[in-house]
Structure 1
Amino acid sequence: MRSAFITFTSYASSSSPPTPRQSFSAAMMDENISYAQSIIMKWNLETFSYSKVASLFSEDRREAKEFMMAVKDLQSAMHFFVKEDSSSEKLIRCQNLMQIAIKRLEKEFYQILSANRKFLDPESVSTRSSRVSRRSSCACVSDYEDDDSEEDVIQVASNSVPEVVNVSEIVMADVKAIADCMISSGYGKECVKIYEIIRRSIVDETLYHLGVEKLSFSQIQKMDWYVIERKIKNWLNAANIAVKTLFYGERILCDHVFSASEIVKESCFAEICKEPALTLFGFPEMVAKCKKSPEKMFRMLDLYESISELWPEIESIFSLESLTSVRSQAVNSHLKLGEAVRAILSDFETAIQKQSSKSTLPGGGVHPLTRYVMNYIVFLCEYSGSLSDIVADYSLSAQTPLPESYFSSPIPDGSPTSAISERLAWLILVLLCKLDGKAVVYKDVSLSYLFLANNLNYVVSKARTTSLTLLLGSDWFINHEIKVKQYISNYERMGWSKVMTSLPENPTAEISVEAAKECFRKFNSGFEEAYRKQSSWAIADPKLRDEIKVSVAKKILPVYRDFYEKYRGIFRREMGVELVVRFAPDDLGHYLSDLFHGTVVSGSATSE
């Protein structure tokens, strides 16, 4: 209005008659150009040394607003003269001024982006609240419609948000203002180029410090597993930060700065983050393609779970059509990891079945294979959610040497964990069948049953004290605990049969002295033989050891005590009685208490 009033009064004082409307508009354009020139030339990089070192946006912010309005007015004047006279000297003047203004804005844009990296870092940007973001958007210098708008908004922000967030809001507003101005003036390409170079360097630098490397599959293949494992641990941390902070922050910043153009902000974000994201999400796929082995299972599952947890953010951040390849890479890595886990599970099952049955443990203790397999399965339980997804459509081996009677699901069909429960129960079953084969190798049948009782008891106890309890279900435990008792019963029957049958069923019944002597002789021989053999046998579980000792004692001692009390007086009167009655009842208890501690170092397997 000020410009219009000045123009109107100058024409009113002129002696010449009023000019046409086009002349009035031209006069207004002349006024705008003169005003724009006074602002723009002050900050001409080629003229004043002061303007080369000072920052327009760090000086008087009102002047920054006036500079932006001057560029806007200059653009309007250029449009006017293009229509009126494309060869006008005024148009050339406008173009020259615009070149000077754009160079200034390019410098300001570069300086703000470079000098305020700590206020535009992805973490500061990504933690901005939506309320502060909406409010601070009013502070963009390109949107000033009244003189007090910027100061009012910045003052409100200063009173309500931390200093770093406050500065971040102001810096983002300045960057957006310059971008809007340059794009609307037809210099969007120059603006975007500066932005992409600076922000891409920040993304690359951040990933470098996070330890993300661009590796080929051939490089991965040549690495030892412990090196790959270290890189996986590093990747898990890097991926979490990259997705939730780095890429998320860049998407927010890019969308904010270039909000005026959907095409520009999409292409800009893709240029900055597409290649780094492909590098990041391509690593798990290469790991999944490496040679499979059981010890690699858990790192594969870590990668699988990480992608699963990050997928909602990945899908949201890289939702643009131009970033389909990034989403596809993440999905493909996820699928390949699932395939690798299924392959390792299958190989693990095969390895159990192929383990030599001739390898047994002296003393019938818990076999190293039992410990290894159960510890492995317990670790698998920690990934039950992911494993349920992975094995959901993965049927058990169609061809198996296991009896049909073994096929049963421990959890009712339709349970959320039925797939993984069935799979883990199946692996335990494969182990138990292998142990059945190992038990046959023992020459002593009673030792075979003790071996089975030991190992099955270990399996059940291990499962009871871990999360397998929830996965296998109560019926599984009931059935296998019954089986442990059956093994113990068979062991007692086979291991102590000579001792138990040496005494009469009714120990207090009257029998001849010779018959009593024969009973004592058979008992002595049977007990000594059983004790001699079983003194080296082992029961690792103290509770099971005590239960078996008590059970054996209850079957032997009461009968022997009654028989001993009835006939020991007769044999006292005979010479050589100590050769007939060698054990007092209390002595038997002491001998039994010495059993099942074993003399073989746990874990050493041999063939017996």
Structure 2
Amino acid sequence: MPMKGMRTVFFKSWSPSRTPPPPSPLRITFSESLMDENIEMAQSIITKWDSNSDSSSSCNLASLFSPENRHEAKQYLNSVKYLQQAMQYLASQDPASENLVAALNLMQTAMKRLGREFYKILKSNRDHLDPESISSHSRSASMSRSSMSDFEDESECDLRHENDSILEVERASMAAMADLRVIADCMISAGYAKECAKIYKTIRKSIIDEALFHLGVERFTLFQLQKMDWEVLEVRIKIWLKAVKVAVKTLFYGERILCDQVFSTSGMRESCFSEISREGALSLFAFAENVAKCKKTPEKIFRILDLYEAISDLWPEIEYIFTSVSTSSVRQTAVNALIKLGEAVRTVLKEFETVIQKETSKSPVAGGGVHPLTRYVMNYLTLLTDYSEILPDIVVDWPLTVSSPLPASYFGSLNADEAITSPLSMRLAWLILVTLCKLDGKAELYKDVALSYLFLANNLQYVVGKVRESNLRFLLGEDWIAKHEVIIQRHAGNCERMGWSKVLESLPEDPSAKIPLDQVKDHFRRFNTAFEETYNKQSSWIIPDPELRDRIKVSVERRIAPVYKEFYEKHGGARLRRQTWNESIVLFTPEDLGNYLSDVFRGVEVRGAFRPIQVEVGEVGARRSLVPKITCLF
């Protein structure tokens, strides 16, 4: 008979709606004979490996898919395929045939055996099929070749010809996946997909759940998280941050690869992966979403940002791993977590601004130093800039609205925000401005106007310094820094002018002009008093920034020293030597001024008064040998 004719007889379908024409006796005999041979061949090898057969008891201890039985395993799979073809033919001829019933029973026996083999491979190769091993070598170039079964095409798929650089554990993993795939293909094609999937999901889900437990991922309700002390919750967040990276990049990714390999030729891979991973993944991302719903305070923002950053960084993997409709709830939970975390960050930033505005301390900082509020705000904002990659996404749709224009007392005609365009930069610049406004009010607590300006200069210098040394520099820009440095110079100039005005006023307008001796004495006395008073006062003032301190000292010395030196040289020598008195008139030489000025703005207090120099003939202008003893206040 021609081959074409034989294929027609073999594969012709039977329809109960009509009676097929009676075939010739020769064709019936040949087809039935061929089917009988297929069934007999399948029965021989299936019965041999049947665990319920007494004759096969010696085979039960061995695996059909062990290295020494690879040839029989291939025969076993082929026999199942031929048995399936025979069943299809018999069903088309006589659905009540005894041979069909026998073939069906034989097929059930084969599926039980393959199910046990499938289970055994999954269990015995648990270490080789762990998600970390799979995810690590799945990216190798050999993955596409090694994932093929040596039951399909030995010329292309024989695992013995794999690259020698592949580790043995990877070889074992690849071989196990190949065996699982051919078994799954066989069971699914035979109509036993449900049984195959049940075995797979039972084992692999337990692995996922166990791995998440060892990573420290626990299921907490929103109520439980809200009742936790912040210290306890922060520990849980730190554990979660470490766990989520491993869970996504290794655990779920590895399981995704394994499902894709085992069920590569069927539509079951998505449903299997979904049932295995969905519960654990939902619990994982629900934790972050629930944390975002807990009570929010400024110090919590950094952990909230850590959660946001972790999910944001992992989003490409999340989208790839949970790409199907059946796992869309996982993607949606991750998205919801990002949304809620972003809202929490905006709420905390608003609360932070409120905290600044409501700061009510009434005690001035000793010496006009940096206020704790300034340190708190700038350290806070500096830490925020560590998240400058994700913060723009959070504040991009959060416009800055203010109830009043920016205070002109700080910026004058300068528009401090003209170079700031990004929402994040504007938000940070606004928080700094709110802080400076608050400090402006605190400067009024000082009775000495010069000290008020020094306080403003110190705090703005601290702000600018923090901006310079952090990522704030890139967010606010060089123009912002330059404009605020101008304001620092203005504050410093006002401090010098008002703080040393009495000293300068004690000297004549024209120090070289000829004036009566009584006026000379009066000027020296007034200068001594003014200088001593100013020195004692400003020695307890503080300028923490060394550059600003030196700049102000040099400026003060340039204001006073030349005028005093000219007056001293003109009137402090010969005219006084011609007089005799018991009262000390000249306490300072021009050189002394620089020594005394070196002590100011260091936050120290002078103990005791100046010890006057006894002016005698030939000793006028003698340098003081002793400097007043000083004691640090801090």
TM-score (ref. length: structure 1): 0.91
1:4 matched residue in structure 2: none
2:543 matched residue in structure 1: 539
- SS of residue matched to 1:385: coil
1:57 matched residue in structure 2: 65
- SS of residue matched to 1:193: helix
1:306 is displaced (CA, Å) by 1.1
CA distance in 2 between partners of 1:603 and 1:175 (Å):
78
1:272 matched residue in structure 2: 276
Gaps of 5+ in 2: 1-23, 606-630
1:208 is displaced (CA, Å) by 0.9
Q: Partner amino acid for 1:190?
A: E
Give CA deviations for 1:301-324 in whole Å, capped at 9, x if unaligned. 111111111111111111101111
2:342 matched residue in structure 1: 338
Q: Partner amino acid for 2:149?
A: A
Q: Partner amino acid for 1:595?
A: V
2:41 matched residue in structure 1: 35
Give CA deviations for 1:22-50 in whole Å, capped at 9, x if unaligned. 22111011111111111011111012322
| Aligned with residue 460 of structure 2, among 449, 456, 461 | 456
| 1:311-460 matches, cutoff 5 A | 311-356=315-360, 358-400=362-404, 402-403=406-407, 408=415, 410=417, 412=419, 418-460=422-464
| Aligned with residue 183 of structure 2, among 178, 199, 216 | 178
Count how many residue pairs are aligned between Structure 1 and Structure 2.
578
Contact 2:131/2:253, CA 8 A, preserved across alignment: yes
- SS of residue matched to 2:162: helix
Give CA deviations for 1:239-278 in whole Å, capped at 9, x if unaligned. 111111111111111122112222x111111100111110
- Between stretches 424-433 and 579-588, larger displacement belongs to 579-588
Q: Partner amino acid for 1:346?
A: K
CA distance in 1 between partners of 2:416 and 2:105 (Å):
82
| 1:444-593 matches, cutoff 5 A | 444-569=448-573, 570-576=575-581, 578-593=583-598
Give CA deviations for 1:528-556 in whole Å, capped at 9, x if unaligned. 22122222111111222222112111111
Change in 2 beyond 3 A, CA 1:469/1:261: same
2:102 matched residue in structure 1: 93
Give CA deviations for 1:448-494 in whole Å, capped at 9, x if unaligned. 01111111111111211222221111111111111111111101111
Q: Partner amino acid for 1:136?
A: S
Contact 1:365/1:540, CA 8 A, preserved across alignment: yes
| Aligned with residue 72 of structure 1, among 71, 76, 81 | 81
CA distance in 2 between partners of 1:374 and 1:111 (Å):
61
- SS of residue matched to 1:252: helix
- SS of residue matched to 1:595: coil
CA distance in 2 between partners of 1:412 and 1:527 (Å):
44
* Larger RCO (CA within 8 A; separation ≥ 6): 1
- Between stretches 233-242 and 573-582, larger displacement belongs to 573-582
1:134 aligns with 2:139: no
2:211 matched residue in structure 1: 206
1:244 aligns with 2:245: no
2:117 matched residue in structure 1: 108
2:197 matched residue in structure 1: 192
Change in 2 beyond 3 A, CA 1:89/1:149: farther
CA distance in 1 between partners of 2:286 and 2:87 (Å):
50
Change in 2 beyond 3 A, CA 1:56/1:409: farther
1:235 aligns with 2:240: yes
Q: Partner amino acid for 1:348?
A: F
| Aligned with residue 601 of structure 2, among 583, 586, 596 | 596
2:231 matched residue in structure 1: 226
CA distance in 2 between partners of 1:437 and 1:132 (Å):
70
CA distance in 2 between partners of 1:408 and 1:281 (Å):
44
Give CA deviations for 1:119-163 in whole Å, capped at 9, x if unaligned. 11112222323632322344253x35xxx448x621222545222
2:294 matched residue in structure 1: 290
- SS of residue matched to 2:291: helix
Contact 1:365/1:602, CA 8 A, preserved across alignment: no
Give CA deviations for 1:373-396 in whole Å, capped at 9, x if unaligned. 111111111111211111112122
1:154 matched residue in structure 2: 159
Q: Partner amino acid for 1:49?
A: S
- SS of residue matched to 1:131: coil
CA distance in 2 between partners of 1:404 and 1:389 (Å):
31
1:586 is displaced (CA, Å) by 2.2
- SS of residue matched to 2:52: coil
- Between stretches 192-201 and 522-531, larger displacement belongs to 522-531
TM-score (ref. length: structure 2): 0.87
1:26 aligns with 2:32: yes
- SS of residue matched to 1:118: coil
Q: Partner amino acid for 2:63?
A: S
CA distance in 1 between partners of 2:184 and 2:284 (Å):
30
CA distance in 2 between partners of 1:295 and 1:367 (Å):
19
Contact 1:571/1:577, CA 8 A, preserved across alignment: no
Change in 2 beyond 3 A, CA 1:370/1:603: farther
Identity of aligned residues (%): 57
CA distance in 1 between partners of 2:277 and 2:484 (Å):
55
Contact 2:45/2:76, CA 8 A, preserved across alignment: yes
1:599 is displaced (CA, Å) by 4.1
1:169 aligns with 2:174: yes
Change in 2 beyond 3 A, CA 1:159/1:536: closer
Change in 2 beyond 3 A, CA 1:454/1:160: closer
Contact 1:211/1:235, CA 8 A, preserved across alignment: yes
1:293 is displaced (CA, Å) by 0.9
Q: Partner amino acid for 1:132?
A: S
Q: Partner amino acid for 2:49?
A: W
1:19 is displaced (CA, Å) by 3.9
Give CA deviations for 1:499-550 in whole Å, capped at 9, x if unaligned. 0111122211111112212211221221122122222111111222222112
1:578 is displaced (CA, Å) by 4.7
Q: Partner amino acid for 1:179?
A: A
| Aligned with residue 301 of structure 1, among 283, 299, 305 | 305
Contact 1:410/1:421, CA 8 A, preserved across alignment: no
1:580 is displaced (CA, Å) by 2.2
- Give the CA RMSD over aligned residues: 2.1
- SS of residue matched to 1:380: helix
Q: Partner amino acid for 2:38?
A: N
CA distance in 1 between partners of 2:633 and 2:289 (Å):
37
CA distance in 2 between partners of 1:190 and 1:400 (Å):
70
Contact 1:119/1:165, CA 8 A, preserved across alignment: yes
Q: Partner amino acid for 1:219?
A: Q
